[in-house]
Structure 1
Amino acid sequence: MSSHHIVKENQEPALIVESVTDLDTEYIGQLLEWSPTVFTNDYTIDFFLADDIKVDVVFTNQSNLYTQEQIKRIPVQQGFITDALQYLVENHYKAVNIICNEIPDIVFAFCKQINIVLFIAGKRYVFVECEYKKWKQKGDKIFVREDRLKSLFGIQKIARNIFITEQDGFIHLAFNTAEFVWIGEEI
């Protein structure tokens, strides 16, 4: 894109950061490249403030003073990720990247309302319905709950819920449920 690219409000995926230890700082930098709306909590805000990275919203029940004055404070009610997702849906965001340390069950309740991508311990998870098709290189690992698979093409099982691509090309997964299914890949 050219340097004249104008980003409309809520067009870029927002960024919810529950854990800063689960993704290296270089990848966090890539997620921050397009200046997303950044959501933190009491445990992750210091990471951003220490590097002078703009924080838009902090979910907190504390009355701390922050070096950035424009930070919007929202009280935690149901939990950080739940409250942040609810805020995004209410404010018409279309997508969000979440850095966390496990797949929160609550994300499944929001998958129909907002596109969610999770980053956990060097893996990227997407949520899909019905089927999944993607071009992958031979030897790439795919993480998916095998009890959700109806059929698969282009991958073989190497461990519980872990598969490997057999060759360069498209893989295809079909699911035995109408619910959203997570699919992970190494980053």
Structure 2
Amino acid sequence: MSSHHIVKEDQEPALIIAQLGGIPDSMLSQLLEWNPIVITDAQNIALVTQQAIKVDVLIANEPVDLPQDHILLLPMATSFLDTALTFLIGRKCRAANLVSTDTEPDLIRQYADQIHAVLLVNGKRIFAAKSGFSKWKPKGETVFLYGDAVADIRGLRPTGEREYITVADGFYSIYFDKPYGLIGERL
């Protein structure tokens, strides 16, 4: 099979760019490899297009000089991220990567039953997981837990605020007292 696969529209994760500094350029290139839907806002459009990234959706409430053709302009509802996720859910998009430097991760938990959103921020990958989440990791790997929904933890030892380390090679498990909790890993 060749390395050129057919990807159906909206099958690949969309890319929401809140701030470009959230991840290394090499990772950004990987995220753009399959030509996802790219969404940004008025504050970031110039920087994003300077990086030769084709923007599909611009969220803004004020008039903006569009640096590219064929950009869908959406008015901002409550917030940029809320508007972007609501738009993607309306398109039946199943996943999105969100690049940022300072976004509060709780928003992705609010939408967890409608879209799989991953926050890439400051060297971390943060995602919503169902209670009973289990994953294999080698001993000594760092796991971050966000919010107040954690009910039980197995295979992890606390090392700081919201920070845990795997105690052995093998699976760790996290149980929440809400349908979803937030887990972070280093990139």
Q: Could you tell me the TM-score, scaled by structure 2's length?
A: 0.91
| Matches for 1:146-185 after TM superposition, within 5 Å | 147-175=148-176, 177-185=177-185
- Judge conservation of contact 1:103–1:118 (CA < 8 Å) in 2: no
What's 2:88 paired with?
A: 88
| Gap change, CA 1:75 and 1:148, over 3 Å in 2 | closer
- Measured in 2, the distance between the counterparts of 1:146 and 1:12 equals 28
| Runs (4+) off by over 6 Å | none
What's 1:116 paired with?
A: 117
- Measured in 2, the distance between the counterparts of 1:66 and 1:132 equals 43
What are the ranges of 5 or more consecutive residues in structure 1 without an aligned counterpart? none
- Judge conservation of contact 1:153–1:173 (CA < 8 Å) in 2: yes
Number of aligned residue pairs: 186
Secondary structure, in 3 states, of the residue corresponding to 1:69? coil
Secondary structure, in 3 states, of the residue corresponding to 2:22? coil
Secondary structure, in 3 states, of the residue corresponding to 1:150? strand
What's 2:133 paired with?
A: 132
Q: Could you tell me the TM-score, scaled by structure 1's length?
A: 0.91
What's 2:59 paired with?
A: 59
| Gap change, CA 1:61 and 1:146, over 3 Å in 2 | closer
- Measured in 2, the distance between the counterparts of 1:42 and 1:25 equals 21
The Cα RMSD (Å) is: 1.7
- Judge conservation of contact 1:135–1:169 (CA < 8 Å) in 2: yes
1:106 aligns with 2:120: no
Letter of the 1:13 partner, please give it.
P
Deviations 1:11-30 (A, max 9, x none): 00101111112222222112
Deviation for aligned residue 1:62: 2.7
What's 2:38 paired with?
A: 38
| Matches for 1:2-81 after TM superposition, within 5 Å | 2-81=2-81
Letter of the 2:79 partner, please give it.
G
Letter of the 1:117 partner, please give it.
V
- Measured in 1, the distance between the counterparts of 2:148 and 2:110 equals 20
What are the ranges of 5 or more consecutive residues in structure 2 without an aligned counterpart? none
